[in-house]
């Protein structure tokens, strides 16, 4: 469904992940970023208004042309320099140990090989660099997790490949990071939305 995936899903994502509740998580997760930052899953630039003043450059990576169009006003109004450098989080067009920080928000659910993408983030970060993330993923509640597994095939078809049950914490640790901050939370909403609502939010550090 190329038209649905390429044209409709980015617009839906911009609306659904542009809520006040999600913005609260975005604002919190970017705290502490500085210098040159790579953002995988830049999308429509919903993080742009929240970048700290200590960030000098953001290297934006995202495959969606529609997302880039939707981001234009936010990018134009940003005091942070934003360079669109690539389309694929699994293969970042950056040198080894070339950036100070990395950011991923509601992105690892969609990248086909999320483990490879996190390894790429680890590769391009300088020693001591920090990977800031907020992602929805596998819920520790067995009942919710069962629903995540059941819904996944439909979710992937209608939401551009989005996967509900990825163990985000394990993906990040397995890539060689040390998780130095981790919070678990739920997006606001009714109980039937719980399969989509479980959040991993934190910071992981590339050890020297």
**How confident is the model over 81-117, as pLDDT tens digits?**
999 999 999 999 999 999 999 999 999 999 999 999 9
Q: Looking at the DSSP assignment, which residues form a beta bridge with residue 198?
A: 186
How many whole angstroms separate alpha carbon 164 and alpha carbon 144?
10
Q: Looking at the DSSP assignment, which residues form a beta bridge with residue 81?
A: 57
Q: Within the chain, what is the greatest distance between any pair of CA atoms?
A: 45
DSSP character at residue 189 = S
Q: What is the mean pLDDT of the chain?
A: 96
Instruction: Using a pLDDT cut of 90, give the percent of the chain over it.
Output: 96
Residue 148's contacts (CB-CB under 8 Å, 6 or more residues apart) are 138, 139, 164, 165, 195
Given this model, what pLDDT does residue 194 score?
96
**How confident is the model over 35-80, as pLDDT tens digits?**
999 999 999 999 999 999 999 999 999 999 999 999 999 999 999 9
pTM tops 0.85, yes or no:
yes
All domains of the chain in start order, with CATH = 2-205 (3.40.50.150)
- Listed in sequence order, the DSSP H helices in 114-193 are 114-124, 142-158, 168-174
Tell which residue, 12, 158, 177, 157, has the closest CA to residue 104: 177
Given this model, what pLDDT does residue 1 score?
62
The answer to whether residues 145 and 171 touch, using CB atoms and an 8 Å cutoff, is no
How many whole angstroms separate alpha carbon 121 and alpha carbon 116?
9
């Amino acid at each position: 469904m190329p038209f649905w995936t390429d044209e409709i899903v980015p617009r839906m994502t911009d609306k659904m992940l542009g809520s006040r509740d999600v913005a609260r998580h975005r604002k919190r997760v970017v705290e502490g970023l500085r210098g040159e930052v790579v953002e995988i899953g830049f999308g429509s630039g919903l993080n742009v208004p929240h970048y700290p003043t200590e960030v000098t450059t953001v290297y934006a990576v995202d495959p969606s042309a529609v997302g880039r169009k939707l981001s234009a006003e936010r990018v134009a109004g940003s005091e942070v320099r934003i360079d669109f450098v690539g389309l694929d989080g699994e293969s970042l067009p950056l040198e080894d140990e070339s950036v100070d920080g990395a950011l991923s928000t509601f992105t690892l659910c969609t990248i086909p090989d999320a483990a490879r993408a996190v390894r790429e983030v680890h590769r391009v970060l300088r020693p001591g660099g920090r990977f800031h993330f907020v992602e929805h993923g596998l819920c520790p509640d067995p009942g919710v997790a069962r629903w995540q597994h059941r819904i996944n095939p439909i979710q992937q078809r209608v939401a551009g490949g989005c996967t509900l049950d990825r163990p985000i914490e394990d993906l990040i640790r397995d890539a060689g990071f040390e998780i130095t901050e981790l919070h678990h939370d739920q997006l606001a909403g009714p109980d039937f939305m719980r399969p989509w609502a479980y959040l991993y939010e934190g910071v992981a550090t590339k050890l020297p």
